Structure 1
Amino acid sequence: MGKVAVIGAGMAAMAAAARLATGGHDVVVHERARTYGGALGRFERDGFAFDNGPGLLVLPAVYRDLFVKTGREPLESRVELVQTDPAARHLFADGTVLTLPNASRAGAVAALDAAFGLGSGERWSDLLVRAREVWEVTRRPLLEAVLTGPDRLAGDPYPALRRRGLFRRAPLLADVAAGELGGDPRPAALLESHALAYGLDPRRAPAAATVLPYLEEAFGVWYVRGGLRALADALYARCLERRVEFRFESEVAGPVVVDGRVAGIAFAGGGTEAADTVVVGAPLPSLYGGGGLVKDAAGPVDEPGRCTVHVALRGSRPVGAAHRTVVHAADRTKALDWVFSAKSRDPLPVPGALTVTVLRPDDPAVRPDAGHEAVTVTATVPRHDTARGGSGLDWTAGDLAESCAERMLAVAEAAVPGLRERELWHEVRTPADTERDTAVPGGSVPPPSLAGLSGALFRPANRSPIPGLYLVGGWSHPGGGLPHAGMSAAITADLISGGPGGSR
């Protein structure tokens, strides 16, 4: 067994470290920040606590497998997982309210029929049946194993439908929404909101993105008591139990390559350290691009980020309030153009052109007492870019961050009536904060790998062309998202240990 240097202490990096240490490797994790967890950050003030990153979990089986494989105990022995019920409430501009039950196909059919009219539920159910076919085709190569034969997944596996005697394909998610949901913009917005939440433009996302709502319906939506930061805490503790060494405020410039093979790491402040294997869980500039070590592999690109507003409220959380509410934009085109079309972008979204997600956990651990409530409001927004005319916005300029937050809170009042009157204070986090805390250029949030689009959403392989150099996390296979982080780690640890790559 050899010495492994892991760069970064995000979820994928820590999961890889825990698996490798369990296998007998000597593992040292180097993290530029003062803490671990990456995107699973935490903000605390006056007895309130908020997740800075994702607030809900899908596919918890990935982390159940991790904790069993690294300690022979269930994940639930370390954190309390709770299925949110309902899975989500959706509010539309015309006043329609859709309440989706958690992990219930029959319940979803009834809910859509009640909200949108008879037949809507069956159309949605049929669409998710086809999404299941996509999942069955792509699950192994796009989540659980090394990506082999990517050409066969470059074409979208979403099934063709018979139209007027011919089989016609829907190459994009927007085509699916327009062609299969009865022409009603509300279920179309429901479908597209899942892609938008992952930073994907539904007008350009592949039809295979239908797997995103399918995963929620098939496997449920879960919350971790205390917030998802508790999952990062549990994984960090598992790493320490496996004798992984952590060095915080240890900024690595990149791997050291000698005679075509990794020999260690180089520090940003000077100096090197020997290692037999290097696992990169951070988007290092030295890795990507024409002059990088991983030739022709795309690192972080111009994907959007997230603006998050943490709100401390006086007054107790109402009984029966939904954990998650999505307030849909009234003007789809303007909403998507503001996020994804730099040339026509105003500094702020115009009224009606903003979709927000409101999280209201029923969790005593995130509020000072029963007479208060912690609410988080998020929206997909342009990345941070200080260049005028660039692909994003300069989130540090003037009052842009606060002005955007005010517009988000105005939209969120549809989900939390009286929010502004109850507000004690709020804290705003923009893609500029994400860039500062995680070193991800622009504060972009990586989407998951999806089939179709000629492989445009595939990520670099976990095993690089340089012997001894491996990649994990959202900027490598299988892309962004908490489940993907866990499987990226499983694939990489298995490769390093001499396996084919994957969880065994």
Structure 2
Amino acid sequence: MARIAVIGAGMGALAASARLAVAGHRVVVYERTDTYGGALRRVERDGFRFDTGPGLLPLPAVWRDLFVKTGKEPLEDRVDLVQVDPAARHVFPDGTRVALPNASRAGVVAALDEALGDGAGQRWGDFLVRARETWDRTRRPLLEEPLWPNWQVLAEKEPYPSVPVKRLLRTRRARTLREIGAFELRDERLAALLESHALAYGLDPRTAPASTAVLPYMEHAFGMWYVRGGLRELARAVYERCLARRVEFVFGAEVTRVVEKDGRAAGVELADGTVAEVDHVVADVDPARLRTLTGHQLDGEGEVRADPAGEGKGRAVLLLALRGEREEGAAHRTVVHARDRETEMDFLVATGGEEIPSTTATVLRPDDPTLAPEGHEAAVVSAVLPAGLDWADEGTVRRCTDVLLDAAERAVPGLRERLLWHELRTPAHTAEETGARPGAVPPPAFAAAGGRLLHPANTTRLPGLYRVGGWAHPGGGLPHAGMSGALVAGLIVEGPEFRGSQ
């Protein structure tokens, strides 16, 4: 039985802890805040309850697998998991609206044809077939296996099977998400639908590799799911599974140093000077903090390193307390597209400016009576913006609030008349809650693009120290966090020869 210290109680850390405990190891989790779940937080006020992190769950099979592998009680016995239908309603700048059925290719094709014109649905359906091929090619190396030592093969070859298109006497193939929209979808609204999946992680579709097409495919193939009571309930269920497997939690315990002995990680030192000696250390923290904890570079030449350019996008979340019940037929999720996509992307890439433009925003309106007092509704509006904006400035907060309220008005009838109060949660709140600097949200790992969107391996150059969570392979997102926990547990239990789930 090994002694294992886990730094942080994010979802990746919880997933690893439960699996390691079941394997017979003694696991202690040190969390600097007073609760678990990482970004899966909840705000309660005046009888209203809001998720401030992810509000929907793609690919729930990852978390089902965790519960199967760590006990006889399935996930559905611990949370009320429901499929969202439609998966999303999209509102475009020209006023066009379309509701996309959940996990139904025929339904999506028909809905797009009706809303955008004949042929639009078929082009999107054909794109999904190519996106599925991308998923099949990259699923194992990017989700189910430790990062390959020869990871360069993932960086060099674009797995998306783009269609050759004649352009200016030349044959062109899409290499970015933007080019897929221009060459293959050939409709500004379809392109906006595609690009919204990348924008949700702060990725610029003009440079994001075509392989990011797996994002809409995952949503289409596996559906979008909601947990009654909010996604915070998923964090609670995983935390309770850890407790049931005798994982120990120490809250309010900030780790200030990873202790080294004989050239390997041998413990953690806390802010009060306490040192816990262990056999392995698992860190669910962002790269900057991990470097501070160890005092040296954890990756050598030729290995994937954290990309500083990918650490600057955070999520702004506007909580809306609304008088009256949601109207009949209201969609759980509405994606409101920016009025000018180029201006939005320039702002995102330039890390901000004085004015915050119209941005692609997601409006979540769960049909869940547990979230609000009787006869009222709790809604959440979110968008990814430069995390480095001056969030302590009242003007920045006011401008961001106005932009998100404008998006919400395009999704919620009579919003201003129904609004009881609103509260903005900024990337500064994320930084305080998760320790990620400066409140950034990590994207998932993707192939191609020279490896720019890969994440560092779960192992490090310091033996005994492992990385887990959104800042390590396979990157950000709830499914990826769960898989990172499975990979780290496998590497510790089975050793370097571990090659992933079969």
> 1:260–1:466: 8 Å Cα contact kept in structure 2?
yes
Picking from 374, 379, 385, the partner of 2:378 is 374
**Aligned twin of 2:389:** 393
CA distance in 2, matches of 1:367, 1:211: 35
CA distance in 1, matches of 2:147, 2:467: 13
Picking from 427, 443, 456, the partner of 1:447 is 443
- Larger displacement relative to structure 2 (155-164 or 359-368): 155-164
> 1:462–1:488: 8 Å Cα contact kept in structure 2?
yes
> 2:146–2:499: 8 Å Cα contact kept in structure 1?
yes
**Aligned twin of 1:334:** 343
Letter aligned with residue 355 of structure 1: T
**Aligned twin of 2:217:** 214
**Aligned twin of 1:494:** 490
Letter aligned with residue 359 of structure 1: L
CA distance in 1, matches of 2:406, 2:3: 52
> 2:20–2:489: 8 Å Cα contact kept in structure 1?
yes
> 2:165–2:173: 8 Å Cα contact kept in structure 1?
no
2:29 pairs with 1:29: yes
> 1:30–1:248: 8 Å Cα contact kept in structure 2?
yes
Q: Which runs of 5+ in 2 are unaligned?
A: none
Give the secondary-structure state (helix, strand or coil) at the position aligned to 2:256: strand
> 1:286–1:293: 8 Å Cα contact kept in structure 2?
no
CA distance in 2, matches of 1:309, 1:287: 30
Letter aligned with residue 341 of structure 1: A
**Aligned twin of 1:349:** 356
**Aligned twin of 2:419:** 423
CA distance in 1, matches of 2:410, 2:285: 38
> 1:492–1:502: 8 Å Cα contact kept in structure 2?
no
CA distance in 2, matches of 1:247, 1:284: 22
Q: Deviations over 1:433-470 (max 9, x none)?
A: 11111110011000000001011111111111221111
**Aligned twin of 2:367:** 362
Cα deviation, residue 104, structure 1: 0.4
> 2:381–2:404: 8 Å Cα contact kept in structure 1?
yes
TM value normalised by structure 1:
0.94
Cα deviation, residue 258, structure 1: 1.3
> 2:288–2:437: 8 Å Cα contact kept in structure 1?
no
Letter aligned with residue 382 of structure 2: T
CA distance in 1, matches of 2:172, 2:417: 52
- Larger displacement relative to structure 2 (212-221 or 266-275): 266-275
CA distance in 2, matches of 1:483, 1:465: 26
Picking from 159, 162, 172, the partner of 1:160 is 162
**Aligned twin of 1:387:** none
CA distance in 2, matches of 1:168, 1:268: 57
CA distance in 2, matches of 1:250, 1:492: 22
Cα deviation, residue 272, structure 1: 1.7
Letter aligned with residue 281 of structure 1: D
Structure 2 counterparts to residues 184-333 of structure 1, below 5 A: 184-283=187-286, 285=288, 287-288=290-291, 292-295=296-299, 297-298=305-306, 301-333=310-342
Q: Deviations over 1:253-285 (max 9, x none)?
A: 231111211110122343321010100011263
**Aligned twin of 1:412:** 408
CA distance in 2, matches of 1:233, 1:244: 14
**Aligned twin of 2:113:** 113
**Aligned twin of 1:386:** none
Q: Deviations over 1:342-361 (max 9, x none)?
A: 3xx432323xx322110000
> 1:90–1:98: 8 Å Cα contact kept in structure 2?
yes
TM value normalised by structure 2:
0.95
> 1:198–1:447: 8 Å Cα contact kept in structure 2?
yes
> 1:492–1:501: 8 Å Cα contact kept in structure 2?
no
Cα deviation, residue 167, structure 1: 6.4
CA distance in 2, matches of 1:254, 1:167: 55
Letter aligned with residue 184 of structure 2: E
Q: Deviations over 1:320-374 (max 9, x none)?
A: 10000011111111111122223xx432323xx32211000000111111x1000
> 1:253–1:286: 8 Å Cα contact kept in structure 2?
no
Identity of aligned residues (%): 59
Cα deviation, residue 293, structure 1: 4.1
Give the secondary-structure state (helix, strand or coil) at the position aligned to 1:312: strand
Cα deviation, residue 162, structure 1: 2.8
CA distance in 2, matches of 1:8, 1:372: 36
CA distance in 2, matches of 1:48, 1:438: 23
Cα deviation, residue 299, structure 1: 6.5
> 1:285–1:292: 8 Å Cα contact kept in structure 2?
no
CA distance in 2, matches of 1:123, 1:268: 57
**Aligned twin of 2:480:** 484
**Aligned twin of 2:152:** 151
Give the secondary-structure state (helix, strand or coil) at the position aligned to 1:211: helix
CA distance in 2, matches of 1:284, 1:456: 15
Letter aligned with residue 334 of structure 1: T
Give the secondary-structure state (helix, strand or coil) at the position aligned to 2:411: coil
Give the secondary-structure state (helix, strand or coil) at the position aligned to 2:494: coil
Letter aligned with residue 353 of structure 2: D
Give the secondary-structure state (helix, strand or coil) at the position aligned to 1:285: helix
CA distance in 2, matches of 1:268, 1:486: 29
Give the secondary-structure state (helix, strand or coil) at the position aligned to 1:161: coil
Picking from 461, 464, 467, the partner of 2:457 is 461
Q: Which runs of 5+ in 1 are unaligned?
A: 384-391
> 1:287–1:293: 8 Å Cα contact kept in structure 2?
no
Structure 1 vs Structure 2 CA RMSD: 1.7
CA distance in 2, matches of 1:286, 1:124: 42
Q: 1:459 to 1:288 in 2, by over 3 A?
A: farther
**Aligned twin of 1:17:** 17
Letter aligned with residue 298 of structure 1: A
CA distance in 1, matches of 2:361, 2:20: 39
Q: 1:465 to 1:84 in 2, by over 3 A?
A: same
Q: 1:321 to 1:502 in 2, by over 3 A?
A: same
Q: 1:188 to 1:480 in 2, by over 3 A?
A: same
- Larger displacement relative to structure 2 (158-167 or 58-67): 158-167
**Aligned twin of 1:49:** 49
